[in-house]
Structure 1
Amino acid sequence: MAKQKEITLPLLPLRGLLVYPTMVLHLDVGRDRSVQALEKAMVDDQYIFLTTQKDMNIDEPGVDDFYKMGTLTKVKQMLKLPNGTIRVLVEGIQRAEISGFTNEEKFYEVNIFTHEDSEKKESETEALMRTLLNYFEQYIKLSKKVSAETYSTVSDIDEPGRLADIVASHLPLKMKEKQNVLETLDIKERLQLVIQTINNEKEVLNLEKKIGQRVKRSMERTQKEYYLREQMKAIQKELGDKEGKTGEIEELTQRIAEAEMPESVEKTVLKELGRYEKVPTSSAESSVIRNYIEWLVSLPWSAQTEDDLDIKNAEEILNRDHFGLEKVKERVLEYLAVQKLTQSLRGPILCLAGPPGVGKTSLAKSVAESLGRHFVRVSLGGVRDESEIRGHRRTYVGAMPGRIIQGMKKAGTINPVFLLDEIDKMSSDFRGDPSSAMLEVLDPEQNSNFSDHYIEETYDLSKVMFIATANDLSTIPGPLRDRMEIITIAGYTELEKVNIAKNHLLPKQIKENGLTKAQLQVREDALQAVVRYYTREAGVRGLERQLATLCRKTAKVIVSGEKKRVVITEKNIEDFLGKRKFRYGQAETENQVGVATGLAYTSVGGDTLQIEVSLSPGKGKLVLTGKLGDVMKESAQAAFSYVRSKAVDLKLEENFHEKYDIHIHVPEGAVPKDGPSAGITIATALVSALTGREIRREVGMTGEITLRGRVLPIGGLKEKTLSAHRAGLTTIILPQDNEKDIDDIPESVRKDLKFVPVSHIEEVLETALVGERSESK
C-alpha cells in the first residue's frame, strides 16, 4: 500500500454509514456544517473526504469524534429536496487518513494523505480470494438478504483489496467491524479478516436456521393439537356432549386462574390438568386426578374475611350469648386489641378446658361472630388414625385430605375460627398417633407450612384462630398441651345457672316446643328449685333437659284444653317434674365422729366426698375400700403413718395400731376415685375416730399431707369450692399455697364461705375438730 502526498479537502461526517472505495451510493445531507462542506467541494473539484462519527447520536461532532481513516470520494450528483435536505450521489475513490485539521469554523477542512492498494497478486492472495468467494457463496445460500445476482457481480472482481471491500459491504456488520476492515491496509490481512467475519456470520445463520426449524416444528405441533381439539369440539357438539371434558377443562382453567394460588401450587395443578386432559375419561386414573384438582381449586388460598376490630361490639356479643366466663371473654378482647394495634397477628391457639355442658363449643361460635370470621367445627372424639389429621396419600383407593384441610375447604377463608372439639378424646393405636400429627397443626412456628399427605403442597394455617375443647387435660399428651393456651372453665354457680336458664335456655325451649311467653311463665323460685333439687352438674345440659320437660308438659296441658296459660312456681314444680331427685346441700345435719367431708375434682366439675373411718378390735390391720386409686391409697398410708408418729401429741392410746383394725371407706364404691387432695381429710377422719372428737359438719377440706404433717397445694380449687357451696358447707380448709386462687372464685360464692388457709395438719385439726377426747365416743 503506497502513501501519496497530502491534499486539503472539506470533511463530510457520516452517521451510521461507511463508504468503501469503489462503492457508489446516495447520501442525504442536512446539517449546516455538512451542507457548507458539500458546497465547498462542488465549488472546487467535487472531491470530498468522508469519515464516520464514533458516536452517531452527536449532532455537533468535534475533531476527536471522527475516525481518522475514511474515504476520498467524488460527488457525482447533487439534488436539493423540498424539505431542505440535499441528496448526493458519491463514488468512493481511495482510502485516506486525516493528518490534521485546517479549518473548523463553518465546516471542517482537513489535510489527508491517500493509500492505494497494491495490484500485485501472489498465489497466497489468489487462494484467499477463492476461499472468500466460496464462503460468500455459502453465506448467500443461507442468507435471504443477499441476492444470487450479487455473487455473479462479485465473482468477476480481480482486485483482491476491492473484493474484500465489496464483500464486507454486503455483510450485516456493526460499524466498528466495518471500520476495522477499512483501516486494514495490508491486502492479505484484509482478506483474512473478511473470511473470518463471514465464517462467523455463517455459523450464526446456521444456528438461526436450526432454531427456526425447531420453532416451526413446535408451531406445527401446536397447530395440529389446536386442529384436533377443534375437531373434538365439533364431534362433541354433533353428539350433543356440550358439557364434555373440553368444557370441563375450560371451567377448571378459569377456576384455577380465579383461585389466586401460590405460584408453586398453580404450577402443580396446571400440570395435573394437562394430565387429566390426556387421560381417557373411562380410565380409573381420570377420576383420581379430577378429585385432586377439585380439592386444590376448592381450597381457600388467599380469600379472607376482614376482622371486626370493634371491641365494644365484640364484648356485647360475648355477654349476650354467655353469662360469666370472664377469663375467656377477656382473652378474646385482648386478642382484638393487640390485632388492632399491630394489624398483623398470628392466630392464637386456645384450649377451653372444663366439664361437659359449660358452653365451650357455643362460646367458640360466639368468638367467631364477635370477630366477624367464618366458623368451622371438627370433632376429634374417637379419632385414632393419623391420616384423619394429615390425610391419605393419593396412592390409596378412596384417598381424601385430612380433617384440617376439609375444614378449611368448608370455611372458605384462610382465617376462620377453627374449633377442634374434644381434643382430649383422641386415642392412639397401631394405625398411628393422631395427637402427634396435631403438633404441626397447633405449633405457631410450624403451621404456616402445614403439609397434608393428599394435597402434597404446603398450606398456610398461621392466620387461623384455633380453639380446642377438652374435658380432661390429663389425657392430652404433654407436647400437645404445651402448644395451647389453657383457659379453664369451671362449673357455674347457682346464681349463674338461674340467670342462664332465665335468659337463654328457657326462651330457647319455649320456642322449640312451639309455645309463646304468654303461654308459659316460670318464676325465678321455680328455676332455683330446678337447679337445686333436679340437677347436680357443673354445666347446664341437665338443666336444659329439665326445662324441656316443663315445656313439653305445658304443651300437653294447653293442647288438651285444660288451661290456656301455665305458671310454674316452687310450690307446683313437683306436679311437672315429680319428686325431688337430689337433696340440696349434702352437709351432715350434725357433727360426726370419724366422718370428714373432702372436696374432690372430677371430670364433670367439683364434688364433695365423705370419708369414713371406723375402729374395731384387732391387730392393727388397715383396710381401704371404696374403689380407691393408687394415689388415694398412698394418701391414706401417709395419713396413717403421720397419726402413728404423733400419737403422744394427739393424746392417743399407746400401741393403738396393735389393738384396733382401722377401716377407711369412701362411699359410692362403684365410682372410681383418685387424686392427690384427700390426705388431710383422711388424717382428720382418722384422728377423729381415734380420739372420739367430733368433726364440724359445716367444714369441707382439700389438701395433700406429707409424713411430717405439711399440707401441700392442690388444683381445681374453684370447682371444689363451688361444689362445697352447693352442698351447704360454710368453711373451707385449703392449703396455704392455694390462697392466691381464692380470687378466681365468684364473689357471690366467696361472700357465703369462710376460707382457712393452713400449712400443717395441726391447723386443720384445730379448725375441724370439736372439743376434747371423749371415751364414750
Structure 2
Amino acid sequence: MQIEEIQNYPANLPVLVEDELFLYPFMITPIFINDSSNMKALDLAIKNDSMLFVAPSRLENGRNFDEIYNCGVIGAIMRKVPLPDGRVKILFQGYAKGKIIEQISNKPLEAKIELIKEDFLEGTKKEALLEVLKEKVKNLANISHYFSPDLLRTIEEGFDASRICDLILNTVRIKKQVAYEFFVLTDLEQKLVKLIDLIAQEIEANKIQKEIKNKVHSRIDKVNKEYFLKEQLRQIQKELGSDTQKEDEVREYQKRLELKKKFMHEDAYKEIKKQIEKFERIHQDNSEASMIQTYIETALDIPFEKISKKKLDIKEVSKQLNHDHYALNKPKERIEEYFAVR
C-alpha cells in the first residue's frame, strides 16, 4: 500500500486496538499482538494488502466498537515477526490521523475511516505561539526527563506546528481522555494554546514534586546524620572506657519508667525521661553523671502506683531533698510540685 493512497479516503480498513496509548502519524512503533481479535484484523490487512487503522481502547482489553475511541492512526505494517511465546510483533508506521464514520464488521473489526484534517495556521500568530510552546518545552526539559536531547533539538528546529504538537503529546505523560481531546482537535491555534497551558501545568507539577522530594531527602539525611553521630559518640565512649554496663542501666531505667508512666504526672514523666537521656549521653567520668544517676534511681523508687491518704508536709519534703541532693534545683522543684498536688 503506497502513502499516496491516503488521499483516497474515506476507505474501509481493518481496525487493530492498542491498549496502552495513542499513536501518532509519522512515528514507527512496535506493537505486540496476543489476542484473536487483533490477530484477525492483522491477517485481513495482510491478505488485502491494505493499510491498518490503529485505535486506542477506552476499556482495558476492549475489543468492541463501543469499547474503543473513534479515532486513531492510519498506517502500514512494515514488518511482522512471530515470537516464541505465541505473540506477534509488528512494526507499524503511522501516516495520517483518521476517524471511524461507519462500522463495517465486528469479527474482525473493520470500519470506514475518514481523514482528520487540521485547519491551517500561518503568519505571525503561528510563529509566536510556536516560540512560546518551544520555550515552555525547554523549561520542562530542564526539570524533567521527558525529552531526550535529540527530540528536544527536533522540536526546537521544527516549523510544522501540527507535527511538533504530536511529538510533544507523544512524549509527556497524559491521560487517554486528554490525549483524545487533543487528537480530534482540528483548530491548530486552539491546540497550540491548549498545549502551552498543559506544559505550564506540567512544569508547575514537576516543581512541586521536586520540592517535596528535596524536603523528604533533607529529612532522611538529617535522621541518618543524627543516627551516624550517635553511633560515633557511642564508639568514642567505648574507646574512652565506657562499657555495656551503662547501656544496660539505661535500658533498665527506660523500662522502669515506662511501667510507671500511667501512674505519673506528665511533667514528672518528661523530666525523668529527660534525665535518663542526659545520663545516656554523658560520659561516666563526668562529675555530673553520678548525681544524675542518683536522681533517676531515687525518682524511679518513688511508688507512683501507690496512692497514700497521708498528707505530706511539703516543707519536710523540700528539706529532705536539699539534704540528700546538692544542686539539681529544677528536678527537685518538679518533685515538690508533684507532691504538692497529691
TM-score, normalised to structure 1's length? 0.36
Amino acid at match of 1:188: E
- State the 4+ residue runs in structure 1 displaced beyond 3 angstroms: 117-120, 243-262, 268-284, 286-300, 376-379, 382-388, 398-403
1:278-332 CA distances to partner (integer Å, 9 max, x unpaired)?
9867679x949974996599867xxxxxxxxxxxxxxxxxxxxxxxxxxxxxxxx
User: Following TM superposition, by how much is the alpha carbon of 1:28 offset from its aligned partner in structure 2, in angstroms?
Assistant: 0.4
What residue in structure 1 maps to residue 216 of structure 2?
215
Check if 1:192 corresponds to 2:196. no
Match of 2:93 in 1: 91
Secondary structure of 1:91's aligned partner? strand
CA distance in 2 between counterparts of 1:156 and 1:244 reads 73
What pairs up with 1:3-42 in 2 under 5 angstroms? 5-42=9-46
Q: Is the 8 A contact 1:73 1:90 kept in 2?
A: yes
The residue aligned with 1:111 is 112
Q: Residues 645-695 of structure 1, C-alpha deviation per residue, up to 9 Å, x if partnerless?
A: xxxxxxxxxxxxxxxxxxxxxxxxxxxxxxxxxxxxxxxxxxxxxxxxxxx
Alignment of 1:63-102 (within 5 A): 63-102=65-104
Does residue 49 of the first structure (1) align with residue 56 of the second (2)?
A: no
Relative distance call for 1:179 and 1:240 in structure 2 (3 A) is same
The answer as to whether partners of 2:256 and 2:300 remain within 8 angstroms in 1 is: no
Deviation at 1:379, TM superposition (A): 6.6
Amino acid at match of 1:234: Q
Per the TM alignment, residue 132 of structure 1 is displaced from its structure 2 partner at its CA by 1.3
2:18–2:54 CA contact under 8 A, matched in 1:
yes
Deviations 1:537-563 (A, max 9, x none): xxxxxxxxxxxxxxxxxxxxxxxxxxx
**SS of equivalent residue, structure 2 residue 174:** coil
DSSP 3-state at the match of 1:55? coil
SS at match of 2:335: coil
**Contact 1:9-1:48 within 8 A present in 2 as well:** yes
1:124 and 2:128 correspond? no
Deviation at 1:254, TM superposition (A): 5.9
Q: Tell me: CA distance 1:401–1:187, structure 2 relative to 1, closer, same or farther (3 Å).
A: same
- 1:179 matched residue in structure 2: 180
2:206 corresponds to: 205
State the Cα deviation string for residues 585-634 of structure 1 (Å, max 9, x = none).
xxxxxxxxxxxxxxxxxxxxxxxxxxxxxxxxxxxxxxxxxxxxxxxxxx
- Change beyond 3 A, Cα 1:184–1:119: closer
The one-character-per-residue Cα deviations of 1:175-218 (angstroms, maximum 9, x if unpaired) are 22222221222111111222111111111111222222222322
Query: Deviation per CA, 1:345-370, whole angstroms, max 9, x where unpaired?
Result: xxxxxxxxxxxxxxxxxxxxxxxxxx
Is the CA contact (8 Å cut-off) linking 1:387 and 1:402 kept in structure 2? no
Q: As a proportion of its length, which structure holds more helix?
A: 2
The count of residues paired between Structure 1 and Structure 2 equals 318
> Once the 2 structures are TM-superposed, how far is the Cα of residue 99 of structure 1 from its aligned partner?
1.1
2:230 is the alignment partner of 1:229: yes
Q: Contact conserved, 1:276 with 1:290, CA < 8 A, in 2?
A: no
Distance 1:66 1:173, change over 3 A: same
Structure 2: segments with no counterpart, 5+ residues: 1-6, 322-328
Q: Distance in 2 between matches of 1:293 and 1:174?
A: 66
Change (3 A) 1:379 1:155: closer
Q: Which deviates the most, 157-166 or 5-14?
A: 5-14
C-alpha distance in 2 between matches for 1:117 and 1:62: 28
Structure-2 change in CA distance of 1:146 and 1:60 (3 Å): closer
- In the alignment, is the contact (CA less than 8 A) between 2:13 and 2:50 conserved in 1? no
Correspondences of 1:175-574 after superposition (within 5 Å): 175-243=176-244, 272-273=273-274, 276-277=277-278, 287=292, 291=296, 295=300, 378=308, 380=310, 383=312, 397=332, 399-400=334-335
- Match of 1:10, as an amino acid? P
Matched residue, 1:575:
none
Q: Distance in 2 between matches of 1:45 and 1:296?
A: 94
Are residue 157 (structure 1) and residue 150 (structure 2) matched? Answer: no
In structure 1, the residue matched to 2:141 is 140
Q: How far, CA to CA, are the matches of 2:229 and 2:59 in structure 1? A: 54
- Tell me which of the two structures has the higher relative contact order, counting C-alpha pairs closer than 8 angstroms and 6 or more residues apart: 2
Give matches, 1:751-762, under 5 Å: none
- Counterparts of 1:133 and 1:167 in 2: how far apart (Å)? 10
Q: Take 2:74 and 2:294, find their aligned partners in 1: how far apart are those partners?
A: 76
User: Percent identity between the aligned chains?
Assistant: 19
1:10 is displaced (CA, Å) by 1.0
Q: Which amino acid in the other structure matches residue 85 of structure 1? A: R
Superposed CA RMSD: 4.1
| Cross-structure match for 2:325 | none
CA contact (8 A) 1:14 1:51 kept: yes
> Take 2:71 and 2:230, find their aligned partners in 1: how far apart are those partners?
63
Separation in 1, partners of 2:215, 2:308: 55
User: d(CA) in 2 for partners of 1:297 and 1:71?
Assistant: 82
Q: CA deviation at 1:61?
A: 3.5
Per the alignment, in what secondary structure is the counterpart of residue 100 of structure 2? strand
**1:166: which partner in 2?**
167
Alpha carbons of 1:174 and 1:399: their partners in 2 closer, same or farther (altered >3 Å)?
same
For 2:202, the aligned partner's letter is E
Q: Secondary structure at the match of 2:69?
A: coil
Task: Name the SS of the counterpart of 1:19 in structure 2.
Answer: coil
In structure 2, distance between residues paired with 1:30 and 1:220:
47
How many angstroms apart in 2 are the aligned matches of 1:39 and 1:270? 81
Give the C-alpha shift of residue 247 in structure 1: 5.8
Is this contact kept in 2: 1:272–1:289, CA < 8 A?
Answer: no
Instruction: Give the Cα–Cα distance (whole angstroms) in 1 for the partners of residues 316 and 58 of structure 2.
Output: 73
C-alpha distance 241-157 of structure 1, shift in aligned 2 (>3 A): same
Change (3 A) 1:217 1:70: same
Q: Is the 8 A contact 2:314 2:336 kept in 1?
A: no
Structure whose alpha-carbon radius of gyration is higher: 1
* TM score, norm. by length of structure 2: 0.77
Are the counterparts in 1 of residues 22 and 55 from structure 2 also a CA contact under 8 Å? Answer: yes
Q: 1:269 and 1:146, CA in 2 relative to 1: closer, same or farther beyond 3 A?
A: farther
C-alpha spacing 1:119/1:283, structure 2 compared with 1 (3 Å): farther
Rate the CA distance shift 1:379–1:233 in 2: closer, same or farther, 3 A: same
Q: Distance in 1 between matches of 2:42 and 2:302?
A: 73
3-state SS of the aligned residue for 2:332? coil
Residue 12 (structure 1) shift: 1.0
How far apart, CA to CA, are the structure 2 residues paired with 1:16 and 1:164? 20
Shift of 1:226: 2.2
Q: 1:138-184 deviations in whole A, cap 9, x for unaligned?
A: 11111135322221122232210110110111112222222222122
